[in-house]
Every structure is written in structure tokens, then in C-alpha cells.
């Protein structure tokens, strides 16, 4: 048997911002497709018009552009199986609804919501199935004349799938193994509604997966309960031979405690659960996003890839290419994956370290400019190289480095008490003079001259350097002193020394 070409899809419903779990689903689809030289398709499942949210589709696309997940086909990408937006495929679905009706595998039902409600109140655990369907208002229970009359007089109806009880359904899942269930537990799901002439998720999903020649359905655990019905639908259409293989991913769990990850966990513990900031078009509420919270897309991808899968060795840092070659769908765990946001912050730190100083400086430049400071790339790269090891996020560089650009407005009280001694003013005066007289202000030369001076005068290295640091930085932290003076330059160094002498006198 020749291997089937790998074709997978990410098929979101545009009902709001993309949750981080959805991003992981898309990522796994992408990794799997690329690993097998296959295609990733972007399909929009918008048949539930009540849940449609303006702007969601564009948001989802923008999220993937930012993350570097690329599609081969689909909405905005083109391809031979379009249209890829389900709301533009009505006629296709109607044809397949008719196929099921004509072959007796589906039927028309007229029960109104009120009638269904009444039935639920009457019958414990009511389910529309073999045990109840003949007592309902549908084309199985009514004569064809009655059915035609109802349709002609404009009654709305739905089309329901006719589930034969007692059939064995086998769902073969790459992650979960083989699950066998009895069709008797299923209800006759609605496949189509005359009111909006649109199919439901189940029908549209199966028809599209078939017509788009999807080989593997990789999706979240929440869709697992639909799988038996989907298998039955493939059977009803006679498409068993090309039925995709299923892989239902594990849930993302709260960072601590039980239950699945929610936006509330993020709000409470201070991390986003959406890729990009989301502005709700109705309420105007703003939800934070990884991009705006200053996460690097590489860090988000690396972190997400390891939620529910690992390469089986100790390697944690993996580029997209590494992930593509190492990913193994069959090794994904079925147990939920805890969303360890501290690990995500760790990844961000590691990616800042691994990126070139130039790349980080380019990201940092707008932050610096936002503080009203003008500087050049060359200087910024040097500062970044000295300071990037100290931060988890690029924006944190500002607090760590602002002293390079702005003279301290005040001096940390504790440090002053500890480091500014009786002799400090005089010593710093001498140091200012010494440095001011230097032709060669290179780091090496400053270091040599200052060390000689300290030795000659018999001063303590610690007392000088501590007071010098206080004068330049305003507190007791920061990198090597001459790295600082070298970067801020002679004039600024001398001015800061003099200012400290005046203020701390
Ligand atoms: N439209 C579904 C969703 O929003 C797709 C589920 C599936 O992949 O079959 O996730």
C-alpha cells in the first residue's frame, strides 16, 4: 500500500481570541506536517453564526504570523480545495445532507425547542435516539404527506443522523490507542438546520476533512467525545477507506491545583493565555497576549512544544527546525500537561541569552526611545551584551540599564550609608581629576591608571570602586565599573563624579 500524503488542518471557529491550547494544537499539526513533507491547511469553521466574533479570523492569522507557523493552503493562502471558509460552502454541505437523507441514514425532524424542552422535563435523561425518536415529530414517525405539508407550509426543521443502536464503533487514536464503544449510547445528532441553511460542526467537519483529503486529525481532547459519531459518519458516506487517523491531544492544566488552564489562572498569576493582546469588540475588555507581554515567539514555541511531548532526552532548547525533526506524535502523552508558566519565563530568558546582541538591541531600541532617550545601535549592542544575562524580558533591560543613559537623580540611601565614607568626597575628587586628564579613555587604560593611583595612594580597592559605582549608578549594583565609565564616556563620568561629591557632601 502506498503511503498516503500527510495533509493536516487547523480548523478554528472564529469565536474570539485563540487560546494557548489552540496554539499548541496548531503547532503540533505544523510540526507533524513539516516532518512528513505534508501540507497544513487553515480552515475556518464558522457555521455557528451565533458565536461569530468580528476580527477573530484576522487575529488568529496574525498570531501564527508572529509565531512562525506557516500554512500551505486555506483561508487567505489559496489552494485547490477551496473555499476554505465553511460559511462559503453551503451548497456543498446541502448536497451531502441530501445523500444521507436519500439513503435513509438521516431524517428530518420538526420538534421545536419548546417541544424538546417539554420532553426533557417529562423523560429522565432524555436522549433523541432509537428509544425515543418514534415518539417525536420527525419523518420517521410522520407520514410522508405530513412531512411534505410541514415543509411546504414553511416549518423549520433540522436533519438528524440516524444512529443504529448496537453497532460497534472503533476509534483508533494515535495517542490514546483503540477505544471501542457501542453506538447505543449516542444520540441522533443534528447535522443541518433549515433556519440558516447551514450544517452543524459535525457534518461540515467530516465532509471537509474528506473533500480536503485530510490524512490525520490532530486536535484537542475536548473533541474526543465527537470521534465515535465522526467514525459513523464516515461509514454512512462509505468513506472508511480514507478516514483520517485521529490524535487527540492532552488537556493543558492549571499551573497548580486541579482542572484545566483558564484565563483566570493567567490573570491571577500574571501570565497571558492568548498569543496576542485581544480587544473584545463587544465589551471592550482587553486581554493580555504573549507578544505584548514581551515574550519572544521562539520561547513560546519551544515551551508549548514541550507541553505534552518531549524528545525523550534531556534537551530542552529546540528551534523550530529541531522540533520538526524530533517531534513524534505517537509519543505525545494522554495525561494532561501542567502549564508551568515559570518555565515559560525561563525559556524567554534563555532565548534572550542565545539571540545575538544585535537582535536584542533592535528589540530594546523602541523601549529606550520610549523613555525619550536617543542613542546609537553600536552603544546599545554593547550595553545589551553586558546586561542581557540579568533579565527575563527585553523591557526589563530598561530598569537594569537606564543608568547608562540617565545620570542618577538620587542615590540609594542604604548604599550611601554603607559606601560613602568620610574620605569618599576627596577621593572621588581626585579620581575625577585623574580621569579627566586621560587622553586614552579606553577601558584598559582607565583600569591601568586608576589601579596605579590606588596603589600609590594606599587606598582600598573596595572603598574606591564602591564610591565610584554609587556616583555613576546611584546604587550598589551593575556590571564592572570601567565597562560603565567606558560606555558613558569621559565627560559624563566626570560630571557624575562631581555631582555625587556636591550632593552627598
Ligand atoms: N472548529 C473546531 C475548533 O474550533 C475544530 C475541531 C476539529 O479540529 O475537528 O477547534
Q: What is the pLDDT of residues 212-246, one digit of tens each?
A: 999 999 999 999 999 999 999 999 999 999 999 99
Mean pLDDT, to the nearest integer, of 55-69? 98
Residue whose Cα lies nearest atom 3 of ligand 1: it is 12
pLDDT at 210 over 60: yes
Atom of ligand 1 nearest to the CA of 12: 4
pLDDT at 200 over 70: yes
Q: Which residues of the chain form CATH 1.10.1160.10? A: 263-341
Atom of ligand 1 nearest to the CA of 218: 8
Right CATH number for 413-504 from 3.40.50.300, 3.40.50.620, 1.20.1250.20, 1.10.10.350?
Answer: 1.10.10.350
Distance 226 CA to ligand 1 centre (A): 10
CA pair distance 240, 38, nearest whole angstrom: 21
pLDDT at 505 over 90: no
Choice from 18, 201, 233 to test ligand 1 binding pocket (greatest atom count within 8 A of CB): 201
Choice from 205, 221, 227, 243 to test ligand 1 binding pocket (greatest atom count within 8 A of CB): 205
Residue whose Cα lies nearest atom 10 of ligand 1: it is 12
Which one of 193, 260, 263, 343 is the catalytic residue? 263
CA pair distance 426, 500, nearest whole angstrom: 11
Does residue 382 have an active-site annotation? no
Choice from 23, 223, 251 to test ligand 1 binding pocket (greatest atom count within 8 A of CB): 223
Mean pLDDT, to the nearest integer, of 423-450? 97
* Residue 388 near residue 380, CB atoms below 8 Å: no
pTM to 2 decimals? Answer: 0.94
Concatenated DSSP letters for 390-421?
G-SSTTHHHHHHHHHHS--SS--HHHHHHH--
Mean pLDDT of the chain: 97
Longest CA span, the chain: 114
Distance 268 CA to ligand 1 centre (A): 28
Q: Which residues of the chain form CATH 1.10.10.350? A: 413-504
Distance 111 CA to ligand 1 centre (A): 27
Q: Where is 95: in which H helix or E strand? A: helix 90-102
Distance 248 CA to ligand 1 centre (A): 11
Q: Which residues of the chain form CATH 3.90.800.10? A: 89-249
Choice from 8, 41, 56, 219 to test ligand 1 binding pocket (greatest atom count within 8 A of CB): 219
CA pair distance 365, 374, nearest whole angstrom: 9
Q: Which residues of the chain form CATH 1.10.8.70? A: 355-404
Distance 52 CA to ligand 1 centre (A): 14
Residues sharing a CB contact under 8 Å with residue 236, sequence separation 6 or more, in sequence order: 100, 103, 105, 106, 161
Residue whose Cα lies nearest atom 2 of ligand 1: it is 12
Which CATH number applies to 355-404? 1.10.8.70
CA pair distance 133, 135, nearest whole angstrom: 5
pLDDT at 2 over 80: no
Q: Determine the topology of domain 89-249 in CATH.
A: 3.90.800
Mean pLDDT, to the nearest integer, of 47-55? 92
CA separation, residue 266 to residues 232, 256, 286, 502 (Å): 39, 12, 13, 48
Atom of ligand 1 nearest to the CA of 205: 9
Mean pLDDT, to the nearest integer, of 461-465? 96
Atom of ligand 1 nearest to the CA of 226: 9
Can you give the pLDDT at residue 3?
A: 84
Distance 13 CA to ligand 1 centre (A): 7
Distance 10 CA to ligand 1 centre (A): 7
Expressed in angstroms, the distance from the first to the final Cα of the chain is 88
| Span 119-175, pLDDT tens digits | 999 999 999 999 999 999 999 999 999 999 999 999 999 999 999 999 999 999 999
Distance 205 CA to ligand 1 centre (A): 8
Can you give the pLDDT at residue 257?
A: 87
Which CATH number applies to 263-341? 1.10.1160.10
CA pair distance 175, 442, nearest whole angstrom: 61
Mean pLDDT, to the nearest integer, of 261-275? 96
Atom of ligand 1 nearest to the CA of 9: 8
Mean pLDDT, to the nearest integer, of 11-39? 97
**Is residue 122 packed enough to be buried (19+ CB in 10 Å), middle (13-18) or exposed (0-12)?**
exposed
Can you give the pLDDT at residue 1?
A: 55
3-state SS string for 150-195: HHHCCCCCEEEECCCCCCEEEEEECCCEEEEEEHHHCCCCEEEECC
Can you give the pLDDT at residue 398?
A: 97
Pocket around ligand 1: residues whose beta carbon is below 6 Å from it?
A: 11-13, 45, 205, 219, 223
Amino acid at each position: 500500500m502506498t503511503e498516503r500524503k500527510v495533509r493536516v488542518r487547523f480548523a478554528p471557529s472564529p469565536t474570539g481570541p485563540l487560546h494557548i491550547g489552540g496554539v499548541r494544537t496548531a503547532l503540533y499539526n505544523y510540526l507533524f506536517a513539516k516532518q512528513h513533507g505534508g501540507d497544513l491547511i487553515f480552515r475556518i469553521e464558522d457555521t455557528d453564526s451565533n458565536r461569530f466574533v468580528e476580527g477573530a479570523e484576522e487575529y488568529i492569522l496574525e498570531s501564527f504570523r508572529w509565531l512562525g507557523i506557516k500554512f500551505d493552503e486555506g483561508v487567505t493562502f489559496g489552494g485547490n480545495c477551496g473555499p476554505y471558509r465553511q460559511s462559503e460552502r453551503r451548497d456543498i454541505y446541502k448536497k451531502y445532507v441530501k445523500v444521507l437523507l436519500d439513503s435513509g441514514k438521516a431524517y428530518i425532524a420538526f420538534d421545536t425547542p419548546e417541544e424538546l424542552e417539554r420532553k426533557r422535563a417529562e423523560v429522565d435523561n432524555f436522549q433523541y435516539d432509537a428509544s425515543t425518536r418514534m415518539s417525536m415529530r420527525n419523518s420517521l414517525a410522520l407520514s410522508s404527506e405530513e412531512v411534505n405539508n410541514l415543509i411546504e407550509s414553511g416549518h423549520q426543521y433540522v436533519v438528524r443522523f440516524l444512529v443504529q443502536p448496537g453497532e460497534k464503533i472503533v476509534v483508533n487514536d494515535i495517542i490514546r490507542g483503540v477505544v471501542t464503544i457501542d453506538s447505543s449510547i449516542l444520540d441522533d445528532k443534528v447535522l443541518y438546520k433549515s433556519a440558516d441553511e447551514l450544517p452543524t460542526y459535525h457534518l461540515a467537519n467530516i465532509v471537509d476533512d474528506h473533500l480536503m483529503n485530510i490524512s490525520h486529525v490532530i486536535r484537542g481532547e475536548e473533541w474526543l467525545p465527537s470521534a465515535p459519531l465522526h467514525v459513523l459518519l464516515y461509514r454512512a458516506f462509505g468513506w472508511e477507506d480514507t478516514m483520517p487517523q485521529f490524535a487527540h491531544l492532552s488537556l493543558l492544566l492549571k499551573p497548580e491545583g486541579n482542572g484545566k488552564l483558564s484565563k483566570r489562572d493567567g490573570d491571577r498569576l500574571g501570565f497571558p493565555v492568548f498569543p496576542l493582546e485581544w480587544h473584545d469588540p463587544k465589551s471592550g475588555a482587553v486581554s493580555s497576549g504573549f507578544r505584548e507581554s514581551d515574550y519572544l515567539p521562539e520561547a513560546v514555541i519551544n515551551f508549548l512544544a514541550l507541553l505534552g511531548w518531549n524528545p525523550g532526552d534531556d534537551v530542552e532548547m529546540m528551534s523550530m527546525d529541531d522540533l520538526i525533526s524530533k517531534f513524534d506524535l505517537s509519543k505525545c502523552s494522554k495525561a494532561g500537561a501542567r502549564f508551568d508558566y515559570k518555565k515559560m519565563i525561563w525559556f524567554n530568558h534563555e532565548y534572550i541569552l542565545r539571540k545575538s546582541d544585535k537582535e536584542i538591541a533592535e528589540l530594546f531600541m523602541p523601549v529606550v526611545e520610549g523613555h525619550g532617550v536617543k542613542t546609537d545601535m553600536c552603544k546599545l549592542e554593547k550595553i545589551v551584551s553586558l546586561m542581557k544575562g540579568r533579565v527575563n524580558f527585553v523591557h526589563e533591560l530598561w530598569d537594569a540599564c537606564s543608568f547608562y543613559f540617565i545620570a542618577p537623580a538620587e542615590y540609594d540611601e542604604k548604599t550611601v550609608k554603607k559606601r560613602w565614607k568620610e574620605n569618599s568626597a576627596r577621593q572621588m575628587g581626585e579620581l575625577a581629576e585623574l580621569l579627566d586628564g586621560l587622553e586614552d579613555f579606553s577601558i584598559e587604560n582607565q583600569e591601568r591608571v586608576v589601579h596605579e593611583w590606588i596603589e600609590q595612594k594606599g587606598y582600598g580597592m573596595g572603598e574606591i570602586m564602591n564610591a565610584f559605582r554609587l556616583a555613576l549608578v546611584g546604587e550598589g549594583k551593575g556590571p564592572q565599573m570601567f565597562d560603565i565609565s567606558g560606555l558613558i564616556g569621559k565627560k559624563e563620568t566626570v560630571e557624575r563624579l562631581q555631582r555625587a561629591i556636591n550632593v552627598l557632601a
